[in-house]
Structure 1
Amino acid sequence: MPERRDTMISVDDALRSILDRLHPVGEEIVSIADALDRRLAADYASRRAQPAMDVSSMDGYAVRAADLAVVPARLNCVASVPAGSGLSPTIPPGACARIFTGAAMPPGTDTVVIQENTEVDATGRIIVTEPIAAQGQWVRRAGLDFDDGDMLLRLGTTLGPAEIGLAAAMNHPWLRVYRRPRVAILATGDEIALPGDPLSAISLPSSNSFQLMAMVRRAGGEPVHCGIVPDDPDQVRRRVFQAAATADLVVSSGGASVGDHDHIQRLFGGPPDEGCPTSGQGTARTERHFWKIAMRPGKPLLFGTLADTPMLGLPGNPVSCFVCGLIFMTPAIRRLTGATTDAIEKESDDRSVLARVTHKLEANDHRQDYLRARLQRDSEGGWEVHAFEKQDSSMMSVLAKSNGLIVRPPHAAATKSGEFVSVIKL
């Protein structure tokens, strides 16, 4: 029988439903040494000016600009000021101080002459051979970078190397960040075995669990591998609720379709009535928010709540699992780590490009398509993309060769070679 279109929710509506129901999981304080890729849970102001006083930006000599009205000029070197030293004595008119990069400017000086523009005469006096461009050359003024109290790191900022370096320069050794969500990963099915275990001809290595764990880490979560659950309804229920008791998000693969052994969706009361396709009350302590999405691959995706823990039931086919993980699980984890919906949408936009297709694409039906494809630069520096001929949702080798997903909206018209399509960069 043909599938009923009204039983499926759109990709955009599904993602909005997920993000609207999720909230940051909590906060913790971490060392800046452990803060990479964490999201700030507070605003941070600087505890000092940078630099705290006028310093030299070059190796050379600290001088008075007024002493260099005529060059060459001869000056007595009366002090040496390395970086990190205490304040030097005041430098009198007609004198200079040897100075090094980062050292504080001695009182009485206002300019630095670089070492290359000086000579030393037989008496040890410094000869300045080149005129200065202006008073204050090669001097970093106090507060050049920022002042004490400047608000430089805002709540929600993702901490990359530059932000961590800035926090250190602001004199913050500890930062309050959103906690990494614990994401419980379960694979279901009697045919599934761990990679490396003895396999029969009808067995399959559990690839979904490990690709999902990698995606969780990349999204900023902490994956918890909860093993393989056999096709037994009692074991499925027990193992899933055990995972939910200590996780911030449960993600399963397999068992979310309509077969007799699809026990994940039966946790939520089984297939919903035709008249209520995207919501429904399941068994005790479970609630289904939606089931089935108008997308390919990945239609049998379920989102619900187990007690107080959200759960994504992803398809069992490995490519479907990956695509749904990318489109739904990754944004969900971003939300749990403190990202706003606007920030998540911007991340999605930043990951998408327009590219010319290298061959014709047929008109699309009512399901949003994600075609595995190869994305590359053309001779003019733009993007071009080639969809792989075989798009079967079981083919991991094709997915591994892909560095993009061509997005074909519902009811998209046929696309000729050379026309533009939207591509998600992998």
Structure 2
Amino acid sequence: MIPVSEAEQRILSLVQPLDRDRDTEQVPLLNAAGRVLAEPVISSLDFPHWDNSAMDGYAVRYADVQNCAPDRPVTLTIVEEIPAGYQPQKVVQSGQAARILTGSMLPAGADTVVMQEDTQRQGDRVTILTDPQPQAFVRQRGSYYQAGTPLLPAGYNLQATEIAVLAAAQQASVKVYRRPRVAILSTGSELVDLDRPLQPGQLVDSNQYALATLVAQAGAEPVPMGIVPDDPEMLRKAIAQAIATADLVLSSGGVSVGDYDYVDQILAELGADIHIRSVAIKPGKPLTVATFPTPPITPSPHHPISSPLLPSPTLYFGLPGNPASALVCCWRFVQPALKKLSGLPEPWKVSYVNAITVQPLNSDRKREAYVWGQLQLVNGSYQFKPAGGSHSSGNLINLIGTNGLAVIPAGEAAIAPGELIHVLPIP
């Protein structure tokens, strides 16, 4: 067994990010949410596009109002009204003002806005009752962003705010990395899909659905490949097909030391370099990580090998079969690998928050233990409450609502309530 931190480091060293030239595509902006930007975006527009008002009020020359006070008001002539979307037609001269609304373009000659609460208007005259600061309530052209400079760097994960910025910059489409393809297969003759009636001794393959969901949430493309029984030849064909058509493969089950655990043997026969066979983590000890330098089988009409995938090695994760073990390994090891693979910038490693445990946490000392439960922010500090019931790796039910994994370091048997712990937040 190798330590958890070493396993993470080895895995990240094996990941080759998608290529900026080969593994990209141009997509419409409305289809870009959750995608990773493959090249910097530079806009030809200043933000703001022109000097504009941050307040409803009056655009004036500062020199005309700099000495105003309630007992020394200044009265100006209103020469123009400027609603939003209107281009001013007049130049504000000394002794003049323009009525202006929030967001409206500042007229030539004016350099300051007096908010309407500090004025009194009668007809085409406005009296200024207080002295403003120079350039008050004026948003200067280019003060947010200057045209020709980088607007968004490559590697940005595009969410609603970035999409809004790109729309404002008139970027109808963007160049993004393609979504990494992740093949998912479940091993075990006891497994059936959810639409099949259960016979004695059978289990529903929940891992296929959980892992596909985690992959999609990470911005990758899940490729569910179904259930493979404990038959070496069928498993060989399924693994060969998976590694030939995906950037990363997740299989669950078949990596322990049982009589029907064939995954490691088959990986070796197919030419894999096996880098990890077990990790000192609980749950999740039987974890296999391997790489395939080139696709090991010739493409067929039914399962063609996409040419962009050829130059990059395929990364293979053989996860434990128990549901909690598979999920913990995915959260702890697979998601950092997907971050690096997808073109996101560093840091790729998982990050923790400090929290107070509200209940005791226990471990057998032998391995770094991960306890699932609820992470909450209470009065500005994080608190962690472990899930109730058995923390068996086969107990899928008490994983409901999990949003954090508390870490018990190897060598520690117990952590008392009120102590500070590290918790891995679950997205």
> When the two structures are superposed, what TM-score results if normalisation uses the length of structure 2?
0.86
Q: Distance in 1 between matches of 2:196 and 2:58?
A: 71
Change over 3 Å in CA distance of 1:232–1:171 after alignment to 2: same
* Deviation for aligned residue 1:203: 1.4
- 1:59 partner amino acid: D
- 1:86 partner amino acid: Q
Query: For the Cα contact (< 8 Å) 1:54–1:140, is it kept in 2?
Result: yes
* Deviation for aligned residue 1:389: 5.2
Q: Which runs of 4+ in 1 moved over 6 A?
A: none
- 1:18 partner amino acid: I
> RMSD value over aligned CA atoms?
2.4
Farther off after superposition, 214-223 or 163-172? 163-172
Query: For the Cα contact (< 8 Å) 2:354–2:382, is it kept in 1?
Result: no
* Deviation for aligned residue 1:144: 1.6
2:185 — aligned with what?
Answer: 186
- 1:315 partner amino acid: P
Q: Which of 331, 336, 340 lines up with 1:335 in the alignment?
A: 340
* Deviation for aligned residue 1:420: 2.5
Query: For the Cα contact (< 8 Å) 1:353–1:424, is it kept in 2?
Result: no
SS for the counterpart of 2:325 is helix
Question: Aligned pair 1:107/2:108, yes or no?
Answer: yes
Query: For the Cα contact (< 8 Å) 1:292–1:300, is it kept in 2?
Result: yes
1:276 — aligned with what?
Answer: none
Count of matched residue positions in the alignment of Structure 1 and Structure 2: 399
- 1:295 partner amino acid: I
Farther off after superposition, 76-85 or 179-188? 76-85
Question: Aligned pair 1:213/2:218, yes or no?
Answer: no
Change over 3 Å in CA distance of 1:311–1:94 after alignment to 2: same
Change over 3 Å in CA distance of 1:382–1:311 after alignment to 2: closer
Q: Distance in 2 between matches of 1:184 and 1:158?
A: 22
Query: For the Cα contact (< 8 Å) 1:47–1:171, is it kept in 2?
Result: no
SS for the counterpart of 2:269 is coil
SS for the counterpart of 2:144 is coil
Q: Distance in 1 between matches of 2:317 and 2:361?
A: 35
Question: Aligned pair 1:60/2:61, yes or no?
Answer: no
1:309-351 alpha-carbon deviations (Å, 9 max, x no partner): 22111111111111111111111111111134x4112xx22x4
2:310 — aligned with what?
Answer: none
2:3 — aligned with what?
Answer: 10
1:175 — aligned with what?
Answer: 174
5+ unaligned residues in a row in structure 2: which ranges? 296-312
1:14-44 alpha-carbon deviations (Å, 9 max, x no partner): 2222211111222222333232232222223
1:310 — aligned with what?
Answer: 315
- 1:142 partner amino acid: R
Farther off after superposition, 35-44 or 250-259? 35-44
Q: Which of 31, 35, 39 lines up with 1:38 in the alignment?
A: 35
> When the two structures are superposed, what TM-score results if normalisation uses the length of structure 1?
0.86
2:77 — aligned with what?
Answer: 76
Query: For the Cα contact (< 8 Å) 2:79–2:124, is it kept in 1?
Result: no
* Deviation for aligned residue 1:387: 6.1
- 1:174 partner amino acid: S
5+ unaligned residues in a row in structure 1: which ranges? 1-7, 269-281
Change over 3 Å in CA distance of 1:132–1:168 after alignment to 2: farther
2:301 — aligned with what?
Answer: none
SS for the counterpart of 1:167 is helix
* Deviation for aligned residue 1:255: 1.4
2:303 — aligned with what?
Answer: none
1:93 — aligned with what?
Answer: 94
1:279 — aligned with what?
Answer: none
Q: Distance in 2 between matches of 1:175 and 1:45?
A: 11
1:425 — aligned with what?
Answer: 425
Question: Aligned pair 1:355/2:359, yes or no?
Answer: no
Change over 3 Å in CA distance of 1:210–1:383 after alignment to 2: same
1:149-208 alpha-carbon deviations (Å, 9 max, x no partner): 232322223223223333334443333222210111111112111113211122111100
1:101-143 alpha-carbon deviations (Å, 9 max, x no partner): 222211222222223333332xx22222422322322211121
Query: For the Cα contact (< 8 Å) 2:34–2:219, is it kept in 1?
Result: yes
